[in-house]
Amino acid sequence: MRLTLIYPSVGRNGDRPYVRAWQMQPLSMALLASLTPDDVEVRFYDDRMETIPFDEPTDLVAISVETFTALRAYRIARQFRARGVPVVMGGYHVTLVPEEAQAEADAIVVGDAEPVWRELLEDARCGRLRPVYQANGPKSLSGLRPRRPLFDRYNYQNITLVEFARGCNFTCDFCSITAFHRASHHHRPVAEVAEEMAATGSRRFFIVDDNIVSQPARARDLCRALAPLGINWVGQASIHIARDDELLALLVESGCRGVLIGMESLDPANLRDMGKSWNLAPGSYEESLRRFREHGLAVYGTFVFGYDNDTRGLIEDSVAFAREQKLFLAAFNHLIPFPGTPLYRRLEEQGRLLKPRWWLDPSSRVGEVVFRPRQLEPDELEALCLDARRKFYAWGSIFERLRDRRANASTLLLAGVYLGLNIGAHFDIDLRQGMSLGAGLPERVEAHEPLPV
């Protein structure tokens, strides 16, 4: 049996890729490959970096679907299904809107793939795929060992991705991750994670967990297991640990060099509305960031604009704050109503969704605001986000922030990473803005019945 794994892109501008600077290994693909029996021939195509050979013979296609890639994923599925090849889909988006994905696939996986993948493959081999595969029973993340040679022929970022846990115990209203995991947080055995990292031979890791410190005690266990490895790693965390000096020190001892922190808003009322008031629990952002810096941790701060208190002034203040605080990197995104989240339901009930199923609408663009903000026009919010990125990644700002020796340039190597990432982000701003979702596939797909928007 031949299995083709596809990781779809958001879209394409002709032959140009979606982004240049951030292509990372799609870890979920290596995990699926590792769960696949040895007698199945596995091929993998990364739609972000290459053209999919639709006519290459295969017996089953598996596509990982996120909301931003859903339209393109469905179009890819139609190409294969038109050639008589069955298609299975899984991922966050499929779990959050299963009925939509079911219409475009022969089978879908709801929730984690590990418990059902072998059964699904056996059913495909026997020509008896069921429409839905869903794991029941307690979740276990023991025994995972991604098949990384899958990535050998690609020029991904020189950083190895690894997973410690899935989910998060917090309940931010816009977050599709916590909606998928229902505010639960499940961990792999710490020893297995450390063993896997050592076995890769890599010294640089991105631990992909959405919030590595949602359960601080488990984060401590991980740090203690990683400290002897002598590695460098980055991850995603929340700011509520700012006063936990022991954990901050352990993170650094384990090789953590920086964390992505969802700061979201400077406005307490906005934080309350999104269910993230706890962001200010350890004190002001200035105080919390000072503590991270004192420990030598670089911070990638992310902001989201479009909550009810957001105004032009507040957005401009946020950019000035990010520059003053010399954040290592920052993201300034408008609020995105992902299906299955409390935010989506709230905006829908209030009649504020301009494109209720924006992810299926070919007229939707990357960067487009698809709901009506309270104090700004949608176009105005889009322009303010773009302007925020331009100001933060302006040359003057990049060199000014490099002057934070403690967190951004503590070593020559770190300063080099800082410059590489910031310069990459500088050039990527306009590359991704405005691209139509799903764009860039052959005509043949467009001739099919339109997707139900």
User: Which among 103-111, 129-137, 164-172, 248-256 is the span making contact with ligand SF4, rule CB under 6 A?
Assistant: 164-172
CB 414 within 8 A of CB 257: yes
CB 327 within 8 A of CB 258: no
Tokens for 184? Answer: 């639960």
224-243 residues in contact with ligand SF4 (CB under 6 A) are: 238
User: Which among 43-51, 151-159, 166-174, 215-223 is the span making contact with ligand SF4, rule CB under 6 A?
Assistant: 166-174
CB 218 within 8 A of CB 186: no
Residue 259 touches ligand SF4, criterion: CB under 6 A? no
Contact code string over 383-422 relative to ligand SF4, x by CB under 6 A: ----------------------------------------
Tokens 């002709």, located at residue: 14
Distance from CA of residue 152 to its chain's centroid?
A: 22
Instruction: Report which of 157, 184, 156, 149 is spatially closest to residue 170, judged by C-alpha positions.
Output: 184
Residue 210 touches ligand SF4, criterion: CB under 6 A? yes
Question: Which of 42, 175, 212, 384 is the binder for ligand SF4 (CB under 6 A)?
Answer: 175
Residue 177 touches ligand SF4, criterion: CB under 6 A? yes
User: Which among 171-179, 326-334, 352-360, 444-452 is the span making contact with ligand SF4, rule CB under 6 A?
Assistant: 171-179
CB 407 within 8 A of CB 328: yes
C-alpha span between 67 and 64 (Å, rounded): 10
C-alpha span between 203 and 197 (Å, rounded): 9
User: Which among 167-175, 292-300, 381-389, 419-427 is the span making contact with ligand SF4, rule CB under 6 A?
Assistant: 167-175
As measured in angstroms, the least distance from the Cβ of 212 to ligand SF4 is 10
Query: CA dist 85 to 50, 57, 81, 195, 441, Å?
Result: 20, 9, 5, 38, 18
Contact code string over 50-89 relative to ligand SF4, x by CB under 6 A: ----------------------------------------
Q: In terms of CB distance, is 277 or 350 closer to ligand SF4?
A: 277
Q: In terms of CB distance, is 144 or 172 closer to ligand SF4?
A: 172
Nearest 10 degrees: Cα torsion 174, 175, 181, 186: -140
Residue 26 touches ligand SF4, criterion: CB under 6 A? no
Residue 318 touches ligand SF4, criterion: CB under 6 A? no
CB 23 within 8 A of CB 157: yes
The residues that touch ligand SF4, with contacts defined as CB under 6 A, are 168, 170-172, 175, 177-178, 210-211, 238, 262
